[in-house]
Copies of this chain bind each other. A is one copy, B any other.
Amino acid sequence: MHLRVLSRIMQRIFEQGAMMIETPYLLFLGDAPDQLSAKVAQGIKDWRPDNAVGQYRMQGCRADVGLQDMSLAEAKAAGARTLVIGVANRGGVISQAWKDVLIEALKMGFDLASGLHNLLANEGDLVAASQVSGSTLHDVRVPNVEYPIANGKKRSGKRVLAVGTDCSVGKMYTALALDEAMHERGIKSTFRATGQTGILITGSGVPLDAVIADFMAGAVEYLTPENDDDHWDIIEGQGSLFHVSYSGVTLALIHGGQPDALILCHEPTRPHMRGLPEYQLPSLQAVSDAALMLARVANPDCQVVGISVNTQHMSEAEAEAYLADLEKEMGLPAVDPFRQGAAKLAAALEEL
């Protein structure tokens, strides 16, 4: 018990230290060429609206996430602590056209946060400005903690992990919707981000795809520490056991997360595995069997409790028919959390 308390205190220190991006944010949309390029900002607005006081748009910006437009000074007055780059232009790099605004923000004492490929820390002008003002540059693609080797010890609290038939089938969306549905039912839960977007949305997490191989599972243990017995960590999944480029990351999540429950995630209209034209998608049953077998190495009680389907390329009628068939076939609740919310999945977890 003593150790458990100590472990929780340590976790809080870590979270308040290296990992935490200070909120609230001002969302930087820059010169976004279209709405889709602002999906990080949109995610923050959709899932953590309290984390943002407004949006900053440059001339010619073609995105709008529906927050109040603010100048840097207005956002500062409204309490904003961090300017978050909520836009990705072609190539996913920091644009020279943004520099004047970013440097001005640093001079005014804002921290900067970015999930882009090139790093704030490698831009000399931004580094110089941050040193003058004492601001922090957060590159959420880069781990800023030395994660431990996983020890596999059973931790208190409960954990659910989203596992997919493929990459980019809606695992983050599912986990965020499930976290929301759990809160609505009055169940204690925390969304645990494992990718750039999730980290920017919530302000903390582990950029798992950038962690050194030996420490992947340990990073997941660090992300999901001991907790109250009735608390659920909702762990964002990555990759797929059946995606040959990233499957190792997925298995580290399964073994580091020692989940009590798995949610299967699927996009039924995809013609092949993302980025791998030679590879067909596995069946949901194959993913269920493989993930459960491997999850039970770390947690013999693990169960598959539901299915989350991304039906964006189906009509409402098609989606409903597909989900109904799937429930019958798999004997599990199946929902599209975007159309229907994740209440059914939360209920399945509560029953566990």
B294 touches A214 (CB 8 A): no
Q: Does A153 contact B (CB under 8 A)?
A: yes
Stretch at the interface among A52-60, A203-211, A305-313: A203-211
List chain B residues, Cβ under 8 A from A251: 241, 247-248, 250-251
| A245-B150 contact given A211-B212, A213-B210, CB 8 Å threshold | yes
B217 touches A152 (CB 8 A): no
Question: In whole angstroms, what is the CA distance A213 to B152 when docked?
Answer: 19
B209 touches A278 (CB 8 A): no
A220 to chain B, nearest CB (A): 10
List chain B residues, Cβ under 8 A from A113: none
Q: Does A252 contact B (CB under 8 A)?
A: yes
| A152-B247 contact given A210-B212, A213-B213, A252-B213, CB 8 Å threshold | no
Q: Does A255 contact B (CB under 8 A)?
A: yes
Copies in the complex: 2
Q: Does A9 contact B (CB under 8 A)?
A: no
Q: Does A293 contact B (CB under 8 A)?
A: yes
A245-293: which residues lie under 8 A (CB-CB) from chain B?
Answer: 245-252, 255-256, 258, 275-276, 278-279, 282, 290, 293
B297 touches A242 (CB 8 A): yes
Mark each residue of chain A from 175 to 203: 1 if its CB lies under 8 Å from any CB of chain B, else 0: 00000000000000000000000000000
**A residues engaging B (CB < 8 A)?**
149-154, 208-214, 216-218, 241-242, 244-252, 255-256, 258, 275-276, 278-279, 282, 290, 293-294, 297-298
Q: List 23 A-B contacts (CB under 8 A).
A: A150-B244, A151-B276, A152-B244, A152-B245, A152-B276, A152-B279, A153-B278, A209-B214, A210-B214, A211-B213, A212-B212, A213-B213, A213-B248, A213-B249, A213-B252, A214-B249, A217-B246, A217-B247, A244-B255, A244-B256, A248-B249, A248-B251, A290-B294
